[in-house]
Structure 1
């Protein structure tokens, strides 16, 4: 009787899904017609649980990969770098043992295919195809990394002539976790909330991560938007390895909403970037047939050519398309835990892993069977770019930052990491009323193998086949860095203008001009790292002042508004100690610091009341509210670049007196505050605090009477010609997907200190448009009358944007409210507007109250 009862209970649990969830043996995943080498350890034998039973943590994932590399002669493993949290990024090179013996030559020969003048020396029929398989760049899309256990095991242990042939004719670069920190954060969450009887109720806490979730890296960046700008170490490490190999295919395994099925590229055809060759999409579609067959064989539903696109080159699935390869996005419906109810039935975690595993194998099969075709495409891609460069009206780009070499350096740093050749000018070049010389400028000739990548970074594009974008539509890099730059036509450019090729890029060094002073020092605010320098002095107890008027030094140099005065007398450091400190600052922050030997300067004297004492910033960043991306960008800017302390203050503390220790509070989205909590924030502002709002926070501040901003009313066209099935696309087309727009600054305003040109390119995303204040001094910046630089925008939004405020300052009592309509820190590569953020922090409290009315 007892045995029968146990059997009935077992049947009951299997039928209802209890306990069966996640309990899948290898037979559930692996092909049944393949034998496996028993000497190769299975994942379970190393990690201690079945694949899909628990979410793999990063340490166990790396442990298994290292074990495979020890035992299998098909696999080598290297650590390609470390994350912010110190986790290793590992990359497996998988191929036939005989290939492993000559792997360096295989890599070198393959890379030479991307050099047009060398490529024909190689017989592609004898070369292996190279595939880069990457998993779970979003940490809470974990089926990819969990599937990588199976992919690695299969490639190490599968036996038979077919497998041997595939290994001989291919090299697999397997990156088991694109985002180790995010993956580990999510795995911890999912595992800590797993019940013995897995509950598929979507309301269970297991399926609702705490803010900020595991999608992002340590600083809450979306790493799948960083392949082009390379602002995070995970991306720099990975892309360096990508360029060493130049793979033919790169796969990017993601997840999407629970109620969906499975997607593979190509995406929406008319939303492919025009710089991507048509043949790229044809090959993507041909590879897609292999995925369809694989998913058909296991009965999985899927879709393709809808929803996603191939436009923004900063994504993993699109970045290869501008680099002679084929990028493939996989999107698997996500269980977001161990099992969850969905429109397609209960979605179990092992099932999501199985789909990712099968499409990894179908990619491998496609790569081998299309090997010669893919290698030929890659070789021809780089040959064609030289012809395209010859036909381009633009022959080179030249750029500089006249008063801030650090910004120009950081753009050059990205070019260097992307293997783009650039040079110093051989002589002075004058273009468009600007002089570019050997000391401050860089030239990027277009006739080189990365022609298309250069165009993708530098071009200004305003015409598009479609008005819908999965990501941003414009990202012109010299505008993002607010550089003086020009397109050089054949009339402007010749090869003899190229001086030395920059092979050893060095951060620019500043200096103290005039030696040690016993009176004062001055440095201008133009330098990108001037705020870092000011904060370092304030942290050491050094009194500093900011100039609100221009003045002329004894050497006839004019110092701009925003210049920082460092008196020598009555400081915490001696004259010699202060001089040494400033020497270190000048060198580390690329600043020219000028010794002043008299206060009798031209214009205003150094003792004038127009020099205002600066207070050390005490900054709180409100977190656990709204979008984590914008908050992470602020945290990253202050912590990693400006070396400033910033307190990540939970939203729940805003209603307490805890906020009184800060003089600056930054919010990056709408808050969920009670009336009492909002009143407490108003009290804090009235007592002299500076509240800085970015993006959607601007709307929230206006609704809650923290500012007097009014939205511009936009008249959108009617829907008379719109059919029912076009409603969603019509609504999306009225959204600004992200592009580059010109604003105009009031250079005398403290919010514009450090800028030396009225024109400032900004990144705008979304439809927040603010009417300009009647008081012109409250409008620190407005959009230009012809604002569009690069990107897509509807006619209605473009018209409404003209003259609208982009930076506004309001008053409450003794405090100030700074509204930054556009995100000045976008994805960490928008260096040109970072200074708006820093000016709000350093100068918000000195803004004249009359001007902010």
Structure 2
């Protein structure tokens, strides 16, 4: 018994010693509250902690202390819990609903309250949005323990004057992918050599979520369940301060705001945010880091121009969002130019910055509350001087795409009203006025030319949703609060002849694949026509799908059942026709209807390829088309029997690991009648390797031009402005081409974030989409790139190769899972590729 007691005492002593490195200054602690080390069985920093262990520990804290609660706000693609851990006094917890209502009064423009210093401040500490930036989730455990267990006067004060929300892991799927890697390759003794496997994670690495999306770009776009759950939580609570903890290069130090100035000429974000509040908080961070001897930098990097970061979106909700970037150990111990950096060291810096944030927020809560109140009041005031009083939008030809756009508006609590005839209205004068700007406004003038990320994000263009500015607000009566019934269609009637399916609808590709999987033969129209249906006379566009009943292996009743069930699932307009004789245009027996083969698609992934673009393809087909795609690592490509597939997708990459024989196999396979789809840098690769006959746009060289001497300090920004970080341009689309089927207008916004300049085809029928004479819609592009590279180029070209073809996308039609406006181009390549002569 004595020996066991001695062992326990020694263990507790070891735990205490380990934890002193982080929070000795906040002693004393309640002894009945287990430390993370006591609960997990190892010192924080000695091991990477799995997400389920993180959640389990926080659940334990909530179980043993009345100062904490935990709730689940969603689940990841892989089914992991997304949780919010809340810390305050027991009294505050008991009165949380009352406090919440008092807090929300400051963001309600119809209420005038001034008790700024009387309501606890709302602080949301967010960790680990990039899964392989793991130090912050470990810091979250230490922070939660300190806030719950410490009896230090400072912590007591924080609990009394704040409601602190801890989101310990924003990206659990990515974190666990990295955690498994780091722990699996951990050495004993530790190996600090940079080239060791522990520090060189393999593709796709843990940065991204299940579908390889960067969740730190998803706050505005709201594509993934992690972001949607967080946004729903956010708009319920509207915290005053939000943190965003990251990691960066191992040889760096530690970054906190202020950032470099916002690149927009007239930023949507109030100047008080990125100047006054940042200057108010910065001394707290520098003082805290100075005390532990950590080095840091500010103002030199990063920017908050794009509103979809965890460190920028809250700024458009009346909060102060704060970015922290910590040099990464990318494992447990790694060499740097200044010695080794340990996992524990990176955790301590994150922990220290977190508590400096809490301190600054509590000590300045009145100013923060007044700022949030003024933020929403100023939104209404600014709306009075805007040129547009409202925006009218809606595409009656594609109700499901319109529905998806409205879903995003509602996700951000943008008030939207139904006008009629498939059109809707968004008034500018509303609390979310700045989000309205982010959805509809476009820009052409900037005060900077180098961006950390995108310089264009007008969401309406993502959805190809044409919006009209209104100078006055029409009568607003039918507010949209749910999208559940927005795309409801009239059920199709039974026929023994043919079903005609509206291919203009976004969901038509998914419905097509569903029918094919059920054994239904489907054809597509190469010319428009007008037909009599049981619903009346209807005009049908290029690409209209037809199900000829008598040509099926199933009887008419079974065909009707399958078609009807598919319509109910995907809500696509379908019409029953009893005759093949059209009122105008081609008849239903015309040779201008061609049978559609079922896609059997393969995509090359792995080292050398863009995991982002590959994930976007995978996500689109999985979640919207419900169509499988075989993902093969480049290292395994030599084992693939290409004859099992009719479509090959290659996203941006260098593909240098493909052997000469594998390259020949691709060329031969295409020439035998199959379809290769290339995106971005894969298009350059295909042309350079002569897989496709085509050219890249060549800039005319001025041999007489003398090189201008410039200062070395300006090298990075001068070269950086030639990089296209992300902007939106207009193309002229051939809607008669199979790749253009389902579009009703030739002008189409596309997103470009690369320097792939694709020359138009020498064949007059193979340039499917070319940039218009005045292509700029939104975002920064240098004059040189615009005039010499973009304007002469094409966005989408088909290169015939033998009996097959290569579909060359210069731009990414599936960018960040959000480009509903151009997804159909990619899907058409999958379904109609073999129909292109």
TM-score normalised by the chain length of structure 2: 0.95
Distance 2:482 2:706 in 1: 57
Q: Determine if contact 1:24/1:350 at 8 Å carries over to the other structure.
A: no
The yes-or-no answer on 1:576 pairing with 2:557 is yes
Q: Determine if contact 1:714/1:796 at 8 Å carries over to the other structure.
A: no
Decide which of 415, 421, 431 is 1:449's aligned counterpart. 431
The aligned counterpart of 1:834 is: 823
Residue deviations 1:331-358 (CA, integer Å, cap 9, x gap)? 0000110010012210100000000000
**SS in structure 1 of the partner of residue 245 of structure 2:** strand
Residue 494 of structure 1: how far off its partner (Å): 2.9
Distance 2:818 2:188 in 1: 45
Distance 1:732 1:264 in 2: 23
Decide which of 483, 487, 497 is 1:519's aligned counterpart. 497
Larger mean Cα displacement after TM superposition, 601-610 or 445-454: 601-610
**SS in structure 2 of the partner of residue 171 of structure 1:** strand
Decide which of 339, 342, 352 is 1:348's aligned counterpart. 342
Matches within 5 A, 1:581-660: 581-601=562-582, 602-625=584-607, 626-660=609-643
The yes-or-no answer on 1:95 pairing with 2:83 is no
Q: Determine if contact 2:134/2:175 at 8 Å carries over to the other structure.
A: yes
Residue 33 of structure 1: how far off its partner (Å): 5.4
Q: Determine if contact 2:68/2:85 at 8 Å carries over to the other structure.
A: yes
The aligned counterpart of 2:255 is: 263
Residue deviations 1:422-470 (CA, integer Å, cap 9, x gap)? 1011xxxxxxxxxxxx141111001111111111221101111100110
Gap change, CA 1:190 and 1:507, over 3 Å in 2: farther
**Aligned residue pair count:** 810
Residue 511 of structure 1: how far off its partner (Å): 4.0
Residue 122 of structure 1: how far off its partner (Å): 5.0
The yes-or-no answer on 1:286 pairing with 2:269 is no
Distance 1:803 1:749 in 2: 21
The yes-or-no answer on 1:561 pairing with 2:538 is no
Decide which of 362, 365, 369 is 1:371's aligned counterpart. 365
Residue 719 of structure 1: how far off its partner (Å): 6.1
The aligned counterpart of 1:547 is: 525
Distance 1:460 1:271 in 2: 14
Distance 1:171 1:718 in 2: 63
Gap change, CA 1:512 and 1:370, over 3 Å in 2: closer
The yes-or-no answer on 1:45 pairing with 2:45 is no
Gap change, CA 1:763 and 1:121, over 3 Å in 2: same
Distance 2:706 2:490 in 1: 62
Distance 1:94 1:71 in 2: 13
Distance 1:152 1:467 in 2: 41
The aligned counterpart of 2:451 is: 469
Larger mean Cα displacement after TM superposition, 528-537 or 769-778: 769-778
Distance 2:232 2:269 in 1: 22
**SS in structure 2 of the partner of residue 125 of structure 1:** coil
**SS in structure 2 of the partner of residue 402 of structure 1:** coil
Q: Determine if contact 1:744/1:758 at 8 Å carries over to the other structure.
A: yes
Residue 487 of structure 1: how far off its partner (Å): 1.3
Q: Determine if contact 2:262/2:305 at 8 Å carries over to the other structure.
A: no
Residue 580 of structure 1: how far off its partner (Å): 2.2
Q: Determine if contact 2:403/2:487 at 8 Å carries over to the other structure.
A: no
**SS in structure 2 of the partner of residue 155 of structure 1:** helix
The aligned counterpart of 1:809 is: 798
Distance 2:550 2:162 in 1: 70
The aligned counterpart of 1:746 is: 734
Matches within 5 A, 1:766-781: 766-781=754-769
Residue 271 of structure 1: how far off its partner (Å): 3.1
The yes-or-no answer on 1:62 pairing with 2:47 is no
Q: Determine if contact 1:654/1:681 at 8 Å carries over to the other structure.
A: no
Gap change, CA 1:35 and 1:718, over 3 Å in 2: farther
Distance 2:487 2:365 in 1: 49
Distance 1:113 1:205 in 2: 51
Gap change, CA 1:723 and 1:125, over 3 Å in 2: same
Q: Determine if contact 2:693/2:801 at 8 Å carries over to the other structure.
A: no
Q: Determine if contact 2:399/2:487 at 8 Å carries over to the other structure.
A: no
Q: Determine if contact 2:495/2:556 at 8 Å carries over to the other structure.
A: yes
Gap change, CA 1:583 and 1:198, over 3 Å in 2: same
Residue 509 of structure 1: how far off its partner (Å): 4.2
**SS in structure 2 of the partner of residue 729 of structure 1:** helix
**SS in structure 2 of the partner of residue 230 of structure 1:** coil
Residue 715 of structure 1: how far off its partner (Å): 6.1
Unmatched segments (≥5 aa) in structure 1: 1-21, 426-437, 849-853
Residue 587 of structure 1: how far off its partner (Å): 2.6
Distance 2:46 2:692 in 1: 52
Larger mean Cα displacement after TM superposition, 186-195 or 802-811: 802-811
**SS in structure 2 of the partner of residue 213 of structure 1:** coil
Gap change, CA 1:35 and 1:714, over 3 Å in 2: farther
Distance 2:26 2:73 in 1: 35
Residue 730 of structure 1: how far off its partner (Å): 0.8
Distance 2:520 2:600 in 1: 16
The aligned counterpart of 1:530 is: 508
Q: Determine if contact 1:107/1:244 at 8 Å carries over to the other structure.
A: no
The yes-or-no answer on 1:128 pairing with 2:110 is no
Gap change, CA 1:578 and 1:177, over 3 Å in 2: same
Distance 1:550 1:608 in 2: 12
Q: Determine if contact 1:131/1:367 at 8 Å carries over to the other structure.
A: yes
Larger mean Cα displacement after TM superposition, 142-151 or 159-168: 159-168
Residue 539 of structure 1: how far off its partner (Å): 0.7
The aligned counterpart of 1:302 is: 296
Distance 2:541 2:435 in 1: 37
Residue 721 of structure 1: how far off its partner (Å): 5.8
Q: Determine if contact 1:655/1:680 at 8 Å carries over to the other structure.
A: no
Distance 2:340 2:203 in 1: 26
Q: Determine if contact 1:83/1:180 at 8 Å carries over to the other structure.
A: yes
**SS in structure 1 of the partner of residue 638 of structure 2:** coil
Q: Determine if contact 1:254/1:331 at 8 Å carries over to the other structure.
A: yes
TM-score normalised by the chain length of structure 1: 0.93
Residue deviations 1:210-238 (CA, integer Å, cap 9, x gap)? 11000000000000000011000000101
Q: Determine if contact 2:400/2:487 at 8 Å carries over to the other structure.
A: no
